[in-house]
Chains A and B, each alone.
Chain A
Amino acid sequence: MKRLIALGSAILLFAIVAAWWMNSRQPKPIVLIPTLTGKPEYCLTCHSDLPQISPSHPVKTFGCVICHGGVALALNADLAHSTLRGGANPSDLSVVQENCGGSNCHSGGAADNNNHIQRVMTSVQSTYAGAITNILYTFGAESDLTARFGIRAESDNQITTTTGVPVLQAFDPAKQTNPLIQKFAVNCLFCHINAQPLPGPQFDRLTGCAACHTPNVASYPQGQIHELTTDIPYTQCNTCHNRGNYDLQTMTFLQRTDQPQPDNRLQNYYQPIAQFTKCEYELDCIDCHTRIEAMGDGDIHSNEADIQYIQCKTCHGTPTQLPLTKTLTDPNDIAFRQAQLNPVVDLQLGDTILVTEKGEPLWNTRLLPDGTYQLVGKATGQVFTIPPVMGSGCTQNGTDQSSAYCHACHSVQR
């Protein structure tokens, strides 16, 4: 009996010493009390070396937990990370509403241009409805080109365009009998912003918002990716676009054989077989394509053509009409907020900028006093002059804005 008591005493002492030792190994916490939440967080104890994610999300204001989740006061990595939402990527679409939403953040109203998440979730880049619809129609599984299926079920109760559809069901390949449609499901359903990319540095990107807004992920050291930006270079768009072609006969994706070359935009931009103009490879995609085109307008569309509407005439006009412009008179114009997020231009009240036919501001353009137009590259800061068609030698039919029509004269030979 005495021996058992002595053994019990030894075990008790061992347990207490072990508890002291484990406690003493915990780091001294670095406390952060974000302005927005007013609640202390210990995350910087281990993550103080991470760069600030963006000027719009300073850590002193937001902290970490509001976007990432996690146990704010834990000093043990496993415990601290046990309730992370979305792992290392809180912008993955499966968790984006919880992490990035909120009426003051990215789930505000359309009137405030703050409905980012709703727009992205219903966008063609996210639903993949365009490709699914086209394949189903091509192989006779649908009678028309109206979208009925997407990567996941989605609905929209506020349709604002003539091409918007109210609902998508989740595409279920198991319900398809055509082997080519099933092959499409196997080989092609990775082509949306929430899919894991194909292996290879040319495809390297994250998912969700970060698929576009966290560029150049391959350039970061392991575990150090912490950037959100609206300064998105064409190379980021190329992790999905221009990386190959689909072969409909075998329903496979044929990768480009020419690999990206640093600083060779002409080589990288489009596939060798494609026609393109000088401005298409000198500019970055985001210099022309607007946020509505890329992130959606809040409606579910059946294909890319329903939402992509920038044409040559948007910037260059036609032989009989100058491009549309707008003089900034409202200090709350969305153009100012967009310019503030990527300050390559110092936009001022009274500036005249180009606008799209839907009224979207091309805030990185400006009408100069001499009547010419200027564009500043959003990713490069490079200044370009936009020559108007009107008054030039161009004899185009201004109503024909098809790609092939303009490329007939203006394509670049690679």
Chain B
Amino acid sequence: MPELSRRDFFKLITTVLLTISGALGIGALIRFLNYQTEPPVKTEFDIGPMENYPIGSRSLVPDVPAVLIHSQTGFTALSLVCTHLGCTVMQQDYGFGCPCHGSRYDANGNVLRGPAQNPLRSLRVEITADQHLILRTD
């Protein structure tokens, strides 16, 4: 085996170091370019087949959060986000109550007691081709 000259030794070391650095750098670049920002807030919720919600039912959908109402006239939905500061309201005998600051709404979402000033927001309900219900919060 020929003896490695001092010059070649430094050349070899430099090549190895730069190759590893380059590989790590490219890895970092790929990682940077593939960085996933936080996903946008979900605004579309598939809440399952419409047959799960018979006429006359009022169903809580905690993930949204919302209450789905199926009346003779069709499906409607109310957001359960309090219009005061955004806490989740709870179902009560009078309708809905906010555990944070005491706002009260009737069963249709109208304000019974402040500090909330506005009624609970109505959400759009869509029916897909395969008869699934989609709630939209946007």
Contact = CB atoms under 8 A, between A and B. Distances in A.
Nearest to B98: A340
A10 B17 CA distance: 6
A9 B86 contact: no
Contacts of A173: none
Contacts of B100: 55-58, 61
Contact of A2 (B14, B18, B85, B86): B14
B8 to A, nearest CB: 9
A265 B93 CA distance: 40
- Chain B, interface residues (CB within 8 Å), range: 20 to 34
Contact of A36 (B18, B85, B99): B85
A36 B86 contact: yes
Give the interface centre of A10, A60, A341 by most chain B CB atoms within 10 Å.
A10
Interface string B1-41: 00000010011011001101100110010000000001001
A25 interface: no
A13 B114 contact: no
A13 B14 CA distance: 10
Choose among B7, B17, B41, B81 the residue with the greatest number of A CB atoms under 10 Å from its CB.
B17
B38 A31 contact: yes
B32 to A, nearest CB: 11
Contacts of B127: none
Contact of A12 (B13, B21, B113): B21
Interface stretch (A126-134, A329-337, A399-407): A329-337
Contacts of A340: 101-102
Interface string B101-138: 11010000000111100000000000000000000000
B13 A9 contact: yes
Interface of B is mostly: mixed
B84 interface: yes
B24 A20 contact: yes
A60 B115 CA distance: 19
Contacts of A56: 100-101
A22 to B, nearest CB: 12
Nearest to A4: B10
A49 to B, nearest CB: 22
Given A33-B41, A55-B99, A58-B100, A9 B24 contact: no
Given A55-B100, A337-B101, A104 B114 contact: no
B87 interface: yes
Contacts of A2: 7, 10-11, 14
A35 interface: yes
Nearest to A36: B86
A5 interface: yes
Given A55-B100, A104-B85, A33 B14 contact: no
Contacts of B99: 55
Contacts of B84: 104
A141 interface: no
Nearest to A37: B86
Contacts of A61: 85-88, 100
A19 interface: yes
Given A2-B11, A6-B13, A331-B112, A16 B25 contact: yes
Given A60-B88, A340-B101, A341-B102, 16 more contacts: A2-B7, A2-B11, A5-B10, A9-B21, A17-B24, A35-B86, A36-B86, A61-B85, A61-B100, A104-B84, A112-B115, A331-B112, A332-B113, A332-B114, A337-B102, A340-B102
20 contacts: A2-B7, A2-B10, A3-B10, A9-B13, A9-B17, A9-B18, A10-B13, A12-B18, A13-B24, A16-B21, A19-B28, A35-B87, A38-B41, A55-B99, A60-B88, A114-B115, A331-B104, A331-B113, A332-B114, A337-B101
